[in-house]
Amino acid sequence: MANREDIRNIAIIAHVDHGKTTLVNELLKQSDTLDSRKELGDRAMDTNDIEKERGITILSKNTAVKVGDKQINILDTPGHADFGGEVERIMGMVDGVLLVVDAFEGTMPQTRFVLKKAFEQNLTPIVVVNKVDRPGARPEEVVDEVLDLFIELGADEEDLDFPVIFASAMNGTSSLSPDVADQEHTMTPVFDKVFETIPAPVDNSDEPLQFQVAMLDYNDFVGRIGIGRVKRGTIKIGDNVEVLKLDGTSQSFRVTKLSGFIGLDQVEIEEAKAGDLIAVSGMEDISVGETVADPAHPEALPILRIDEPTLQMTFRQNDSPFAGKEGKFVTARQIEDRLRRELHTDVSLRVEDTDQAGAWLVSGRGELHLSILIETMRREGFELQASRPQVIYRDIDGVQSEPYESVQIDTPDEYASTVIDSLNQRKGEMENMESVGNGQTRLTYMAPSRGLIGYATEFMSATRGYGIFNHTYAEYRPVVRNWEPGRRNGALVSINQGTTSNYAIMGVEDRGQMFVGAGVEVYEGMIVGMNARDNDISVNVTKLKPQSNVRSSNKDQTASIKTPRVMNLEASLEFLNDDEYVEVTPENVRIRKAILNTAEREKAAKRRKASK
């Protein structure tokens, strides 16, 4: 059977921040794709504001570059394990992968994670060692590290002879030589190796249609849009086709719109054939993994596996004293509609009703997955409250099990013992410890997910900000008994509503670390700081200095308070205890007790103590 030599389908995979999105930018710029008048912004594939700010890719994107009369379809995948569901489905749409590895950092946990998914699908790899101009770059050692990783992951013999390209995507240069002096301002080596190495799609377009939905998009005009690859046959506008549903039923529909991808744009097309990556509109409730087939030959493709959620939080309507003051969307119905809308495109998310009005149990792939959803809603004008993240337990062969994560840490040698101690306390099991030179130690651990909730902040302070902490979901293991991780410090809780004053904060700040400065609106039950000890303390942060007719001394006038600790959304979620919520509005992130009234809260605490 002939192959379609005019196209190649590849995914770009890498660890977070190794430069794959920058590389895609350069491939677009240096191909025959874009109109010469069109300006391409930095990291143009990351269209979402949060992606741009954090320098991470959250959603898979497709683009296509033209090289002469040929085309390379490229899928830019998330590198973070929380978006593993996206990575896995993309692998079924492509024939090869471009593995981007930082020439200084080498292989990292997410490199391993995404590469393992690629080998499971028997995809052909090409390695791009990026950032070869970076100080301390060690390109040849990194190639050896990649080879070791390939062997460890059980790569086929022919895959061990992988082509390597050395590049600096930031400068738009590449070469087949590891010597930085040989870098040339061209991406031709990448284009050439893709056409030489990656298999061309089989051209079976004369057979009955099979198209599988691997990703979803949504817009208000056409509803759900199924994105995927035509595995077999041809699909045209106006065709009557059959959707083979996940539950075994089928549904007929007429194709109303087809889109292909060129550069950064979706372009309407009349027809697509085997090997093409396309978006199909007109199916109202299509889901990931369903097959669109020829009604005369309705054969379903194997169902795609979607990673199950491992973490859950309760999202609630905001009911604090400041509710409705800062957001546009504040009602339970608006929040529920928004969560249900997210389900149109995010297949790793689950939303369930609870027995409380205005509260939903939202389950996702990890802290980052859920915190990005909250941050997105906040920016859209929503107000809501969220509880402390909790792991999802599962019964596996009659044994209660919990999720574990593979942890890789790079830390300056002098902080290694502190990090080891902190991970041991969180029930982590050390798997490896090695010196990687330059005064750095690399630690590999397996740790329960619940022990890692809130660990990032502790880790950064333990390593004075010099450590690198990466974690990837690994597997479910039997639950660790008689251990409950959590915050060791109590909270400083406001006893009244009002505006904080310099004078009041000065009287409280020696108790611990403040989260608010002077002139901030607070309410009773709002957490204004962290106690240095393990118990909660109710404090008054609004009282004013008693006025008298005695002139104050100079010392009094210049007295100033310490700079409060900034509690952004991630830091707040990490800080939470079981009896607390984070209140999120477009303008503020506040932490509060579930029971706001001081007397009622103290009574509830006594009851809890008595019942233990």
C-alpha 394: how far from its chain's center? Answer: 23
Q: Where are the beta strands (DSSP E) in 379-479?
A: 384-387, 390-391, 394-396, 399-412, 429-437, 440-448, 468-478
Contacts of 282 (CB under 8 A, 6+ apart): 222, 253, 254, 255, 256, 257
Q: In Å, how far are 107, 176, 348, 495 from 149, measured between CA atoms?
A: 8, 21, 28, 56
- Indicate the pairing of strand 537-539 with strand 265-269: unpaired
- Indicate the pairing of strand 173-175 with strand 350-353: unpaired
DSSP summary character for residue 361? E
Q: Is there a binding annotation on residue 555?
A: no
Q: In Å, how far are 228, 363, 545, 547 from 305, measured between CA atoms?
A: 15, 17, 63, 69
Which amino acid is present at 443?
L
Q: Where are the beta strands (DSSP E) in 220-288?
A: 223-232, 234-236, 240-244, 250-254, 257-262, 265-269, 271-273, 277-281
Nearest to 472 by CA among 419, 409, 404: 404
Q: DSSP letters along 316-328, please? A: E---STTTTSS-S
Q: Is there a binding annotation on residue 22?
A: yes
Tokens of 107: 């292989």
Q: Is there a binding annotation on residue 20?
A: yes
The DSSP H or E segment spanning 368 is: helix 367-379
Q: Is there a binding annotation on residue 130?
A: yes
Nearest to 142 by CA among 55, 15, 247: 15
| Rounded Cα–Cα distance for residues 204 and 211 (Å) | 12
Spatial contact of 307 and 85, defined as CB atoms under 8 Å apart: yes
Tokens of 296: 């005369």
Spatial contact of 77 and 114, defined as CB atoms under 8 Å apart: yes
Spatial contact of 25 and 33, defined as CB atoms under 8 Å apart: no
- Cβ count within 10 A of residue 348: 20
Q: Is there a binding annotation on residue 17?
A: yes
Buried b / exposed e across 181-205, counting CB within 10 Å, b at 16+?
Answer: eebeeebebbbebbeeebebbbbbb
Contacts of 39 (CB under 8 A, 6+ apart): none
- Cβ count within 10 A of residue 363: 19
Contacts of 181 (CB under 8 A, 6+ apart): none
Spatial contact of 451 and 485, defined as CB atoms under 8 Å apart: yes
Buried b / exposed e across 532-567, counting CB within 10 Å, b at 16+?
Answer: eeeebbbbebbbeeeeeeeeeeeeeeeeebeebeeb
Q: Is there a binding annotation on residue 19?
A: yes
Contacts of 230 (CB under 8 A, 6+ apart): 205, 209, 210, 211, 272, 273, 274, 275, 276, 278
Spatial contact of 41 and 231, defined as CB atoms under 8 Å apart: no
CA contacts within 13 A on the Cβ side of 73:
26
Q: Which residues sit in the known binding site? A: 17-22, 130-133
Q: Which residues sit in the known binding site for GTP? A: 17-22, 130-133
